[in-house]
Amino acid sequence: MWFERTRPGPFPRLAGRASYDVVVVGGGLCGLLVALLLARGGRSVAVLEARRIGAGTSGHTTGKVSLLQGTKMSRVLRRNPPSVARAYVDASREGQAWLQRFCRDHGVVTETRHATTYATTRVGLLRAEGELAAARTAGLPVEWTRDTELPFPVLGAVRLAGQFQVDAMELLCAVVDAAAAEGAVLHEASRVVAIERRDDGAVVRTDGGEVRAGAVVVATNQPVLVGGGFFARLQPQRSYAATLATDWRPRGMHLSADLQTRSLRSVRTASGEELLMVGGSGHVTGRGSAVERLDRLLDWALATFPGAEIQHTWSAQDQSPVDGLPYVGPAVPGNHRVQVVTGMDKWGLSTAPAAALLIAADLLGGEIPAWGRALRSWTPREVLAAGRALAVNAEVGWQMACGHAGRLFASNRPPLCTHLGGVLTWNEAEDSWDCPLHGSRFAPDGKVLEGPATQPFR
């Protein structure tokens, strides 16, 4: 539904050679915020986007800006000490406050809402109660309630007041305008195919030109071409969303703690009509039927809200980090000239501004905030997540083996992913080839839609 609004751009394709202090790879919210802050700091900056600004996760968000993030705090505390969880909350709080100030200063409408993590099943209740304890441990002023506005039975809910929701495309347009006003240069249809490290920086090559830069920031959802093995530390998640015309719309932002996740918020169309937005049915990219997942969400929505009419459907891809926290900083330890931002885990609207502030402080020589340790790309706490990393990569190995075994007996052989050779699966819901290993996605003609792959298949 966001694409019914005015979109940023179009911007020209990179052609020939150029030189900048910093090149940002990826034209989503995080990359654009990094470009804005660095340009404000006096650096010459170029943003290279392979498709259109906002074509990825930032243009497919649900638009919630909340410090209560489903059951995330429980996951964070399973693999990190309480001090790190509190630092993550501080980072998210700083990011949320920065974004709210930016929206106020640039005329972007925000709608204040309370947020809940609610339960409708016994398993969900246990998870919600666990999130209540985890959120309090992490320093969030949450409360427990059984009185929600939801029009179906709820066993209990964690509630946090004072959060907000935003129009994704209005926000992206404002950030693009602000970055351009500070001198940042934006290029669309400019897919990066190589990043060559040099002693004095890097050379970034696209399919139409090349740029020399003193530093490179890769903000492409899943990092590409930088090493560091981030594909082995992330699990790509695809989830679904829809808007419906119905008599009931919530005054809050709600997300279930049940095993079958359901998200609800209200949203206004470009013409001012208020709709209900629902989301959920997430799964690892390339594994299982996308059509079945989307149908399951729509069936639930139509059964829960009789008489509702579906207006839009779409999906988004996010990266879930094995230790529960984003990775922001050097792609490889000790080299600050090539940095990454990844692992937002569906909560990039609050985390992306914090990540951009951290990157800017690093590259501009500023003071690193105390909460920055919760977002760092390389920390000793990785050891605590080793078990989860092993499990995730064991699943990848199994998918690789099963895919190639099935391919031997298939009448029409599926194509292979150009990242690590995984057997692609056909996504009927979106007419794309999806990789069940690390989430690369391709158009029917083989062109790359999402990384870590950067080369089309043939």
CATH of the domain at 196: 3.50.50.60
Strands 432-434 and 441-442: antiparallel
- Rounded-to-integer distance, Cα 172 and Cα 191, Å: 20
9 in a structural domain: yes
Strands 274-284 and 432-434: unpaired
CA 215, 221, 225, 227 dihedral sign is: positive
- Rounded-to-integer distance, Cα 49 and Cα 207, Å: 11
Please report the pLDDT score of residue 153 as a whole number. 96
**243 plus 353 within the same structural domain:** no
**313 plus 276 within the same structural domain:** yes
**249 plus 154 within the same structural domain:** yes
Please report the pLDDT score of residue 397 as a whole number. 76
Please report the pLDDT score of residue 389 as a whole number. 66
**304 plus 173 within the same structural domain:** no
**158 plus 242 within the same structural domain:** yes
Q: What is the domain-level CATH number for residue 143?
A: 3.30.9.10
DSSP of 43-97: --EEEE-SSSTT-SGGGS---EE-S--TTHHHHHHHHS-HHHHHHHHHHHHHHHH
Range of the domain at 402: 386-450
**189 plus 46 within the same structural domain:** yes
The number of C-alpha atoms within 13 Å of 158 and in the hemisphere containing its C-beta is: 30
**268 plus 401 within the same structural domain:** no
3-class secondary-structure state, position 188: coil
Type of residue at 161: A
pLDDT at 402 over 80: no
Could you tell me where the beta strands, DSSP code E, fall in 121-273? Answer: 143-145, 156-166, 185-187, 192-198, 201-206, 209-218, 234-245, 253-256, 262-268
362 in a structural domain: yes
Asked if 73 contacts 131 with a C-beta cutoff of 8 angstroms, the reply is yes
Please report the pLDDT score of residue 226 as a whole number. 84
CA-based nearest residue to 62, from 380, 367, 312 = 312
**239 plus 313 within the same structural domain:** yes
What the block records as the tokens of 121 is 């099943």
| Number of residues that this document lists for the chain | 458
Q: How do residues 96-138 score in pLDDT, each as one tens digit?
A: 999 999 999 999 999 999 999 999 999 999 999 999 999 999 9
Please report the pLDDT score of residue 292 as a whole number. 94
**153 plus 290 within the same structural domain:** yes
Average pLDDT score over the chain = 93
3-class secondary-structure state, position 262: strand
Please report the pLDDT score of residue 403 as a whole number. 77
425 in a structural domain: yes
Confidence band (pLDDT; 50, 70, 90) for 399?
A: confident
Q: How do residues 254-283 score in pLDDT, each as one tens digit?
A: 999 999 999 999 999 988 999 999 999 999
Q: Which of 271, 296, 319 is the last residue of a domain?
A: 319
**Whole-structure pTM value:** 0.93
82 in a structural domain: no
Q: How do residues 349-386 score in pLDDT, each as one tens digit?
A: 999 999 999 999 999 999 999 999 999 988 766 656 66
Question: Which residue is it, tokens 């092993």?
Answer: 390
Work out the average pLDDT over 212-218.
Answer: 97
**366 plus 331 within the same structural domain:** yes
- Rounded-to-integer distance, Cα 345 and Cα 349, Å: 11
What the block records as the tokens of 384 is 């605590």
Please report the pLDDT score of residue 230 as a whole number. 85
Q: Which of 384, 402, 429 is the last residue of a domain?
A: 384
Asked if 328 contacts 341 with a C-beta cutoff of 8 angstroms, the reply is yes
Q: What are phi and psi of 19, to 5 degrees?
A: -145, 135
Please report the pLDDT score of residue 413 as a whole number. 77
**240 plus 303 within the same structural domain:** yes
455 in a structural domain: no
Can the peptide bond before residue 10 be classed as cis, meaning omega within 30 degrees of 0?
yes
Work out the average pLDDT over 145-152.
Answer: 96
Question: Which residue is it, tokens 């399951």?
Answer: 296
Please report the pLDDT score of residue 404 as a whole number. 78
Q: Is 384 exposed, middle or buried (CB count within 10 Å of its CB: 0-12, 13-18, 19+)?
A: middle
Q: How do residues 183-207 score in pLDDT, each as one tens digit?
A: 999 999 999 999 999 988 899 999 9
Work out the average pLDDT over 403-419.
Answer: 80
443 in a structural domain: yes
Asked if 3 contacts 194 with a C-beta cutoff of 8 angstroms, the reply is no
**Total domains, the chain:** 3
pLDDT at 38 over 90: yes
196 in a structural domain: yes
- Percent of the chain with pLDDT strictly greater than 90: 82
Angstrom distances, CA of residue 349 to CA of 97, 99, 346:
11, 8, 8
Work out the average pLDDT over 299-311.
Answer: 97
Please report the pLDDT score of residue 346 as a whole number. 92
CA-based nearest residue to 326, from 33, 98, 11, 30 = 30
Q: Which residues of 191-227 are buried (b: 16+ CB within 10 A; e: fewer)?
A: bbbebebeeebbbbbbebbbbbbbbbbbbbbbbbbbe
Confidence band (pLDDT; 50, 70, 90) for 250?
A: very high
297 in a structural domain: yes
Please report the pLDDT score of residue 270 as a whole number. 87
CA-based nearest residue to 39, from 175, 179, 177 = 179
Confidence band (pLDDT; 50, 70, 90) for 322?
A: confident
pLDDT higher at 411 or 31: 31
Please report the pLDDT score of residue 382 as a whole number. 64
- Percent of the chain with pLDDT strictly greater than 70: 97
**245 plus 311 within the same structural domain:** yes
Q: Which of 364, 384, 404 is the last residue of a domain?
A: 384
